[in-house]
A = this chain, B = another copy of it.
Amino acid sequence: MTFKVTILGSGSAKPSLTKHHSAQVVNLYEQHYLVDCGEGTQNRLLRVGVSPMKINAVFISHLHGDHVFGLFPLISSMGLMGRKVPLHVFAPRPFDEIMEHHFRYFDTELPFEVVWHEVHTTAHELLYENNVMEVWSLPLRHRVPTAGFLFREKTPGLNVRKEKIAELGLGVAQITAAKRGEDVTLADGRVVPNGELTYVPYPPRSYAYLSDTNYSGKAVSLVKGVDLLYHEATYADNMRKEAKQRGHATTLQAVKAARESGAQRLVIGHFSSRYKDDSVLLDECRAEFAETYLAEEGKTFEIVPQKKN
């Protein structure tokens, strides 16, 4: 039931001695998903102990170099490491053309397939799904077509109330049926509705990645109740004008998104290289929203199940 997000890079485009370009790895039930892939991501993955071979799928928010330049080097290395399973890449157009050109000149004999899936940056669509989670696109407001991503756990499997097992003398077959969501028939013919026997052990968890973007009410409305919200905060709040012009957000705009979405925790990142000490940005946020954290490189944010019983 692992659900955690590890920050690989938290800098904005202008190079910095201390920060790398945007990239994160989401671990959901020990399946690994890469979100954005700035230069050097493969090295950052190794440093946090995640083999590039473990990456199932990659989600690229937009086609600015600082969010994508690490992807082809990563793909090359996966080839050298002998990957055989397809890699699914979710990215807006014209990623297809960029990929086609890459493979014309590099990795011409890659031992695995790279499967591109188009992300429509104006839509809220289901992009990816397995038996425990879904990934949805979130329309964002940047200088080029950009999407955020919502990682949403499916409703966890039902637990059966222990007191009911004892009270009704349920057997293995009845318990199994209850876990499947079925009503249970007792020996005396009485039918017990499933709702009386079971409960959802914890509410499904979610993580939203909103970068790069101006504050977007629409995106916020799509991530209501999110447990962990990553929102870019390229600038301190005294730079709202520059943020607006450049398709970015300030600290307090990230806080606004966290508050309005009802997020439990806010992680800010994509810091402008002008800030030598990001605690300036953190302090601005914490004054308004205590549960704010810096996207420090190498740091992992775990989303722990909030048990009801």
Contact = CB atoms under 8 A, between A and B. Distances in A.
Given A39-B40, A64-B106, A65-B72, 16 more contacts: A13-B76, A13-B77, A13-B80, A14-B77, A14-B81, A15-B42, A15-B52, A15-B80, A17-B47, A20-B43, A40-B43, A65-B73, A65-B107, A69-B73, A69-B76, A101-B101
Given A65-B106, A105-B63, A105-B97, A42 B39 contact: yes
A15 B51 CA distance: 10
Interface string A104-142: 011100000000000000000000000000000000000
Interface in A21-76: 39-40, 42-43, 46-47, 52, 63-66, 69-70, 72-73, 76
Interface of A: 13-17, 20, 39-40, 42-43, 46-47, 52, 63-66, 69-70, 72-73, 76-77, 80-81, 94, 97-98, 101, 105-107
B15 A46 contact: yes
A72 B13 CA distance: 13
Number of copies: 2
Contacts of A65: 72-73, 76, 106-107
Nearest to A63: B105
A183 B40 CA distance: 59
Contacts of A14: 77, 80-81
Nearest to A39: B73
9 closest residue pairs by CB, A with B: A101-B101, A39-B73, A40-B40, A69-B73, A15-B77, A17-B46, A65-B76, A14-B80, A65-B106
A173 to B, nearest CB: 51
A46 B16 CA distance: 8
A39 B80 contact: no
A14 to B, nearest CB: 5
Given A40-B39, A40-B43, A98 B105 contact: yes
A17 B101 CA distance: 29
Of A43, A76, A94, A105, most buried by chain B (CB within 10 Å of CB) is A43
Contacts of A17: 43, 46-47
Contacts of A69: 69, 72-73, 76
A14 B46 CA distance: 12
A15 B55 CA distance: 15
A245 B42 CA distance: 27
A105 B15 CA distance: 20
